[in-house]
Amino acid sequence: MTTDSPENQDLPEVVDPDAIKPAARARTRVKICGITRVEDAQLAVQNNVWALGMIMWPASPRYVAPQAAADIADSARKSAEIAGVFVDQPLDEVVALTAEIGLTLVQLHGNEGKHFCQAIVERTGARVIKAFRVQGRDVLGEMGKFYGVDFHLLDTYKAGIPGGTGETFDWRFLLDTPRRGDVPLILSGGLTPENVAGAIEMVGPYAVDVSSGVESEPGIKDPEKLAAFFAAVEGAESPRHAVPDAPLTGAEEEVLTLAYTRRIAAEQELAARKPSGQDRK
């Protein structure tokens, strides 16, 4: 005989993965970075890309001048998020380029602080991706300080190179040391058509980010590698597939399914624990 306590009442039922239709499964999104040409942007769009990234840092071999970036953005903005990647550039410069190009995502790959991130949101309306370079599990503590951004991105650390190293890091540390908060995670760093499925199956990121892994040369995307990468992502079984996507709010699709169910469960459990009449105070 069992007695339902307040803690056990009205909590979400456990979802049976076998009962979820494929179309309802949480989808791992793809961000293609280092886009320098309209034709490559269109190739990515044809493969159902989530976001296109352009490097706005002049020292990068994949740097795109503002007018060229605007042309790329105009060719794809109805089909994908448009991201600009910056590295320790002045706030006014980032704001101006975001407006000029029409960026919907601002990716900060340097030592930008929390106030800088918030200023980007307030002055542009774009969402912020804060990138972190992985040297060890200590990166998780740093990520926890940036709970107010829209996305966290993990990339491989290499001295003197702020990103785009083409090298992987050891994903296993993410399994036994949970991140703080529920900011959606974008996994980057040395991903290729050959290893991206394994990365998704181990980490279960919201999205994966690739640049050199689908190129024939820096800044030039290879159509066959692009297609193979998308196919590998589509076929990967992410831990997020155990729960269907959360209900959407308007046009937003940025609610992590697992975070959503955890939040609802916590709210309902808290409500069940409250003494009668507390809500009326």
Q: pLDDT for 201-228, tens place per residue? A: 999 999 999 999 999 999 999 999 999 9
Q: What is the pLDDT of residue 136?
A: 75
pTM passes above 0.85: no
Q: Are 100 and 77 in contact (CB under 8 A)?
A: no
Q: Which residues contact 29 (CB under 8 A, 6 or more apart)?
A: 50, 51, 206, 207, 208
158-205 pLDDT, tens digit per residue, is 555 655 556 777 888 787 666 667 899 999 999 999 999 999 999 999
Per the listing, tokens 């009449």 go with 277
The torsion angles phi and psi of 216, rounded to 5 degrees, stand at -95, -25
2-44 pLDDT, tens digit per residue, is 444 444 444 444 445 454 344 345 689 999 999 999 999 999 9
Per the listing, tokens 């009668």 go with 276
Residues 63, 65, 70, 73, Cα dihedral to 10°:
-10
The rounded distance, in Å, linking the Cα atoms of 6 and 269 is 8
What is the share, in percent, of the chain residues with pLDDT greater than 90? 57
Handedness of CA 41, 47, 51, 54 (dihedral sign): negative
What are the angstrom distances between the C-alpha of 272 and each of 1, 3, 9, 169, 269?
22, 15, 7, 43, 5
Instruction: Name the pLDDT band for 144 (thresholds 50, 70, 90).
Output: confident
Q: Are 121 and 141 in contact (CB under 8 A)?
A: no
The rounded distance, in Å, linking the Cα atoms of 46 and 52 is 12
Q: Bridge-partner residues for 43, per DSSP?
A: none
Q: Helix 91-101 and helix 114-124: axis angle, to 10°?
A: 40
CATH of 23-242 given 3.10.310.30, 3.20.20.70, 3.40.50.970, 2.60.40.1930: 3.20.20.70
112-138 pLDDT, tens digit per residue, is 999 999 999 999 999 999 999 888 777
Domain boundaries, the chain: 23-242
Whether residue 275 is predicted with pLDDT greater than 50 in this model: the reply is yes
Active site residues: 33, 155
